[in-house]
Structures are given as C-alpha cells and as structure tokens.
DNA sequence: ACCTAAACCTGGGCGC
DNA sequence: TGCGCCCAGGTTTAGG
C-alpha cells in the first residue's frame, strides 16, 4: 500500500512532466474528483511536492492538484496507444515538456478500485491552509530530529505501533514500514511509547530511517496493488522480515512470526526478539 | 488527550 | 461452480 517510499517513488517519476501544460481533462464525476476540474485547462505544471503520503502538483495561476492514493489509488503516465488501467477516474492530456524527448501525446491518469483516494483541484486561497497539510507531523528523513522523536514518545502513553501511524505526529509511516521498523529495532509493537529507554528510542529512530530509505531504494513495496507511474512493481516486498509473514521463522532468531490486531491493524512481530 | 469501532469500497482468498 | 465470509489498511468520524 502506498506509504512514504511508494509515494516518493511516484513523486520522483512525476518530475518528468514538470513544464508540461494541461490541454484537456476528462473525468467521471464522483467523490474521488474534487474541485472545478473544467477550469484547469492551459495550466502549466510547475513542481511536484510530497507531504507525507500526499502528492501536491503545483500549477501556474497559483493553483494546485492534490492526490492521495489511500489504499488502491494509482497514477499512471501513458502515451497514445497505451492501455488505461482499470477503474479510471480522471485523465489529463499533457503537452510534452520542452525538456522531454517524448514525441507522442502524454496522459496522466488516476485510477482507484476502492475509491478511497482523491484528486482535488485547489484554488489560490485554499492551498495555504489545507487542514490536511497543516495537521501533518514532521517527517523522517526530512525535518524530524531525534530530539523531536524523543519528545513525542515521552509524551505519549499509546502503543508505539499506533503512535507511529498517527500522521499528525509523524508523517509518512504506514502499516508495512511501521511493522518492519519495530522488528529492526527489536521493539514489541504493544509497548507504550513512553516506556522506551533512550537506547531503544535511538534504535527505533534509526530503524525508521533505514526501512524508509531501503523502501525508496527498492522502488516501494508491491505486496498487493501498488504500481509506480509506469506500471512497474516495487521490490521491497521481497525484503519483508515480518509483514505478512505469520507462521514463518523470524530471520533473526527463527521464532515463528505472529499476527495480532493492534489499533485495528494487522500487526506482525517476533514474540521472542522484539522486547 | 486518549481509545475503539465503524465507515468508506471492492477484489482476492478461503472454506464448504 | 459459487456463495458467504474475512481480510487488506489510509483516513475520517462518531461515541465513550
């Protein structure tokens, strides 16, 4: 599922359309498509940003598209003749950027089987104070410092696994990287955040950075439906230590991995070496 | 501030 | 074959 590394992979690939102009748009009206899309014509794509799991496509005229993939959202960059993936909701026809060597017509399409995600067009006044972005916590590998992390944990009595998933506290971590980071740090997901010792906090901070970096390096995890901008799969699912590995041996100690529900999520951990 | 559960959706996998 | 059930898990919302 798209978490920070998956969305970052797409963000980087989307940089190829910077400089393109939107020449037409087609969409099926639904709650997935938000804002007056018909007014987007002739806007130029200026930059591609990411805040946690949210993509922001900055446009000319002080406007922006925001895209959240949630569970099954998928952005694809297609050329004329390419097959459009199923569950398509909106297609943007683009002029090739001046820097691009592509010749045919370009289409940016959003598809979403479960319709949890969205593509929204924001006007000038809305961009500044999107509650979405305003409430987002700091981000690992970006502005989240060890000191921030220590303060955060010491002030929370919640299960560490649940705290790490709270986007208003830390942006970008989802269930997969949460489970993997806790395994790497040797910490049990059920532990109260404020019960972690200094050395454990440091270990976990590093582990979060490590799994996210590794996720980005592998192009994300395509455990299920995730595909990148060109329809390719990520490889990180081949490196899972605990996620989805119920009943299989822990790569560190051989004890069988167990699954428990925590905060309403499937939680995978080694009952022996995660303390 | 915290917690849990339900809601939003739909396909895939399983048991029978 | 195919029906019923659970599961997936990002985010919001409702209620305690």
Lowest-pLDDT range, A15-24, A48-57, A220-229? A220-229
- Is residue A49 part of the annotated active site? The answer reads no
| Positions on chain B within 7 A of a protein C-beta | 1-11
CA angle centred on A77, ends A26 and A173, rounded to 5°: 105
pLDDT band, very low/low/confident/very high, at A134 (cuts 50, 70, 90): confident
Confidence at residue A126, expressed as pLDDT on a 0 to 100 scale: 81
Task: Give the DSSP letter string of chain A.
Answer: ---HHHHHHHHHHHGGGTT-BEEEEEE--STTEES-GGGGTTPBEEEEEEETTEEEEEETTTEEEEEE-TTTEEEEEEETTPPPPSSEEEEEEEPPPTT----S-EEEEEEESS---EEEEE-HHHHHT-HHHHT--B-TTTT--HHHHHHHHHT--SBHHHHHH-TTTBSS--HHHHHHHHHHHT--TTSBGGG--HHHHHHHHHHHHHHHHHHHHTT---SSS---TTS---SGGGG-SSTT-TTSBPTTT-PBPEEEEETTEEEEE-TTT--
Separation between Cα atoms, residue A35 and residue A120, nearest integer Å: 6
| Contact status, residue A153 vs residue A146, Cβ threshold 8 Å | no
Nucleotide nearest to A169 (CA to C1'): B1
Query: Choosing from A11, A43, A50, A53, which is the catalytic residue?
Result: A53
Name the CA dihedral angle for A47, A4, A125, A91, rounded to a multiple of 10 degrees.
60
- Is residue A6 part of the annotated active site? The answer reads no
Q: Which of residues 84-123 of A touch strand B (CB under 7 A)?
A: 113-116
How many angstroms is C1' of B1 away from CA of A126? 29
Query: Choosing from A214, A260, A265, A271, which is the catalytic residue?
Result: A265
User: Is A247 within 7 A of strand B by CB distance?
Assistant: no
Lowest-pLDDT range, A12-16, A91-95, A122-126, A133-137? A122-126
Q: Which of residues 146-185 of A touch strand B (CB under 7 A)?
A: 155-159, 162
pLDDT digits (tens, 9 = 90+) for A95-115: 976 555 656 789 999 999 999
- Is residue A214 part of the annotated active site? The answer reads no
Lowest-pLDDT range, A56-60, A82-86, A147-151? A82-86
């Amino acid at each position: 599922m798209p978490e920070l590394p998956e969305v970052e992979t797409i963000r980087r690939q989307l940089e190829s359309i910077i400089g393109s102009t939107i020449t037409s748009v087609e969409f099926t009206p639904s709650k997935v498509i938000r804002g007056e899309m018909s007014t987007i014509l002739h806007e130029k794509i200026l930059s591609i940003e990411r805040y946690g799991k949210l993509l922001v496509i900055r446009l000319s005229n002080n406007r922006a598209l925001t895209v959240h993939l949630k569970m099954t959202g998928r952005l694809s960059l297609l050329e004329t003749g390419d097959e459009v993936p199923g569950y398509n909701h909106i297609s943007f026809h683009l002029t090739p950027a001046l820097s691009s060597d592509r010749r045919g017509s370009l289409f940016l399409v959003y598809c979403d089987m479960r319709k949890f995600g969205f593509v929204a067009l924001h006007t000038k006044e809305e961009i500044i104070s999107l509650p979405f972005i305003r409430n987002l916590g700091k981000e690992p590998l970006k502005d989240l410092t060890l000191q921030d992390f220590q303060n955060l944990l010491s002030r929370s009595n919640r299960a560490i696994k649940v705290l790490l998933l709270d986007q208003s506290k830390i942006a970008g971590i989802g269930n997969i990287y949460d489970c993997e980071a806790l395994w790497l740090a040797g910490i049990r997901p059920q532990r109260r955040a404020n019960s972690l010792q200094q050395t454990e906090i440091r270990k976990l901070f590093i582990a979060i950075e490590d799994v996210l970096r590794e996720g980005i390096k592998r192009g994300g995890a395509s455990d299920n439906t995730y595909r990148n901008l060109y329809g390719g799969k990520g490889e990180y699912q081949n490196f899972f230590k605990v996620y989805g590995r119920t009943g299989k041996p822990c790569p560190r100690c051989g004890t069988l991995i167990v699954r428990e529900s925590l905060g309403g999520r499937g939680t995978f951990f080694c009952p022996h070496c995660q303390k």
